Amino acid sequence: MPDLTAPTSPKNGRVGAWWGPAVGLSGLGFYAATTIPESAGREIYFNVAHPWAVYVFLAALIGLLVYGLVHHIRLWGIGRPTPGMLSEIPHRFRNAMRLGLAQEKVRRDRYAGIMHWCIFSSIVVLTFVTAQVAIEGDTPIKFLHGTYYLIFSFYGDLFGLIGLIGVGMALNRRYFQDFHRIRWDERLEDHVIIVGLGLVLLSGFLVEAARILVSELVQHPDWAPWSFVSFVIAKGLAGFAMEEASVLTLHAWTWWFHIASAFGWLALIVFTRLDHLFFAPVNAFFLRTDSPGRLAKIEDIEQQEVFGVGYVQDFTWKQLFELDACVRCGRCTEVCPANISGQPLSPMHLIQDLKSHLATVGPDIQTHVHQFGDAGREVSPVAMVGDVIKDETLWACRTCGACMQECPVMIEHVPTIVDMRRFLVMNEARIPATAQSALENLESRGHPWRGTALERTTWMEGLGEVPIFDGSQEYLYWVGCSGSLVERNLPITKAVFRLLGESGASFGVLGQEETCNGDPARRLGNEYLYQILAQQLVETFKSKNVQRVITNCPHCFNTFKNEYPQFDGNFEVLHHTEFLSGALKTGKLKATHAVSADVTYHDSCYLGRLNGQYDAPRQIIEMVPGANLLEMQRNFSKGLCCGAGGGNMWQEEIGERRVNHVRSEEAVRTGASQVISNCPFCIQMFEDGVPAVHPEEEGRMRPFDIAELLEESVFGKR
């Protein structure tokens, strides 16, 4: 199962390293504490008048939380039903644990991972500590004495300190580092949350220190050091030689400040992004369990009144729920190829804009006070698609999935963006001219390459007999529109063909009978056209008894593998890199000729990030004698899109730079003489991008498909 939640590379991410020291220290404390008398303990609500008032705070907090939740639930409720959300419960539960509680994605940024773990664990443990105090003080259950009391004191202080370290790291990043992404949408609440938490923790220590100063430091000097942080502060306070009454006054005031600030801070959950405390793990539970490369099918499309999502209530409730999980961390925007290139898309702002649109029009829709227009849709003075979310924002998306990969709260941006594209294209027919031309070409000619002078059989010239698939062969070699109708890609198609033949595989091609499988139409938002093309092709495959397919295009690969099952088309699908690496391993192909070159490898989004295949292509490169792989800085699941995904192959780019120039620059920077990829779109983008960033012909890097590299090694230089 391709997994968007996988770590960047197998090398990083170890939960145990964090819990180890904490468990070790606790164990040590337990050992030492066995000598402590049972009498060890403290007076609960020491020096506090009317402690019952705490429960007033608690009741208010619970009331607020319930109010906030009900408000949110009502808003999410305006969305459409979300099918399948309660399927595969064990898998979903694991996701909630792994991605919610264990915060695997948060740790993709190491600094943030440590900071967040410190704060998170501190809040969890200190809530538990506080609850124990309440139970000891207000119920007949008594357990806070003797050894456990001292251990309790120890870990209470330890996690208070850990929390302060986390707060310190957060303050450092926010105020002392040149760290941009958290400031892209910085709000007052961000300062309040972090400074507030610092005050809660500090005041907690101060309360404890004051109590230790008057009740333990002299009386029980063997107990006091267990609260090691407060003990040090108490020692410090002792230096001021305050009168006991003053210390008690300080204690009382600080105690109430601590309580009020702690409850006040928790109340922020209702009003600020602190709500991710609940929403993030729940969203992890609701995270899709199928492939991230799959877009949802519009069932019974001919029966629909409105196509795609142009009105907020046409999102599913899961999509609306997601909006509330966003914490504005900016990780999505930081990795977005459009944003990196100065183009008009920031996934974070898109989510936030939708969120505030929901907050604006949602309550009225929920209570049905709005004017209702076509098909009962809310008519808002601002159109969601067009005004709130600009057309060009939606068109800039490459559907590369980098945003979803990085999102620590598991928001799925791409399906949301494509849903709005569907509205633009099918409902409004608002579409960039060049993309429209590609779609019209798909409709009338069955391929997106307007103006091509090639035929689907042109690549076969000079290859002798090319077997046509008739059901007797094991594999269908699917050449694809780009593999047959774009001049640059013909050598790739020929290379794959020759290698398949050399490996002894039994295969055939469809030749003139190939038609587009619909991927560009689906990514560009024309789901109707996609469904027509997909249904036709599934029928063709079935009529020819196709069982196994090899593609040289990761987009075709993704469509056949992940999306055709929606049309009852279940085939075993291999990308050529997977087949070829297998043939090399089993000795069916022998890479004997040296290709002495430094090469860099570009992970295409649809083979890499969205289908989890990072190894097969790299194994091929490793098996080519003489080829030396130099990795780019952004690779594996952090690989940057070439710029062509999501139908952008057929669009004019708007913005400061072109994505393929940015990526070509990264490839050139490795110093390699070849950039190797696995996707005809990527190759075309590099063919255009490398000369742009490296104008001198001398020593210019050249883009090749991995099949071309392997062809040279298997057959020798042409």
Partner 1 sequence: MHIVVCAKQIPDPETPPSAFRIDAASNKVVPAQGIAPVLSQFDGIAAEAALRIKEANAGSKVTVISLGADSAASAIKQVLAMGADEGVLLNDPAFEDGDSYTTAKTLAAAIKKLGDVDAVFCGRQAADWDMGQVGLLIAEEMGWPVSIIAKGVTTGGAGLQIQRVVEDGYETVETPLPAVVTVSNEFGEPRYPKLPQIMAAAKKTVTQWKTADLGLDAGEVGAAGARLKLEKLSTPPRGGAVELMPGDSPEEQAAALVAKLRADKII
Binding site for partner 1 (CB under 8 A): 302, 305, 307, 425-429, 431, 433, 436, 439-440, 444-446, 450-456, 458, 512-513, 528
Smallest separation (angstroms) from partner 1 to the CB of 481: 13
Which CB sits closer to partner 1, 425 or 659? 425
Which CB sits closer to partner 1, 458 or 535? 458
Which CB sits closer to partner 1, 244 or 305? 305
Smallest separation (angstroms) from partner 1 to the CB of 387: 19
Q: Where are the alpha helices (DSSP H) in 100-141?
A: 110-138
Smallest separation (angstroms) from partner 1 to the CB of 437: 9
To 10 degrees, the CA torsion angle through 648, 652, 657, 658?
40
Q: Where are the alpha helices (DSSP H) in 173-309?
A: 188-215, 228-238, 244-271, 276-286
Q: Which residues of 14-53 are buried (b: 16+ CB within 10 A; e: fewer)?
A: eeeebeeeeeeeeeebeeebeebeeebbbebbbbbeeeee
Smallest separation (angstroms) from partner 1 to the CB of 162: 56
Which CB sits closer to partner 1, 481 or 584? 481
Smallest separation (angstroms) from partner 1 to the CB of 486: 13
Give the position of tokens 């005031």: 253
Cβ atoms 134, 48 nearer than 8 A: no
Smallest separation (angstroms) from partner 1 to the CB of 442: 12
Smallest separation (angstroms) from partner 1 to the CB of 386: 15
Cβ atoms 685, 676 nearer than 8 A: no
Smallest separation (angstroms) from partner 1 to the CB of 341: 27
HSE-CB at 340 with a 13 A cutoff on CA atoms is 23
With residue 677 as reference, give the H or E element that holds it: strand 674-677
Which CB sits closer to partner 1, 153 or 526? 526
Beta carbons within 10 angstroms of residue 302's beta carbon: 7
Can you read off the two tokens belonging to residue 131? 């609850």
DSSP state of 296: P
Which CB sits closer to partner 1, 340 or 439? 439
Which CB sits closer to partner 1, 406 or 514? 514
Distant-in-sequence, close-in-space partners of 124: CB < 8 Å, separation ≥ 6 = none
Q: Which of 344, 337, 342, 329 is nearest to 411 (CA)?
A: 329
Smallest separation (angstroms) from partner 1 to the CB of 528: 5
Which CB sits closer to partner 1, 455 or 572? 455
Q: Which of 239, 223, 192 is nearest to 41 (CA)?
A: 223
Calpha distance 251→245 (Å, rounded): 10
Which CB sits closer to partner 1, 359 or 383? 383
Largest CA distance in the chain: 102
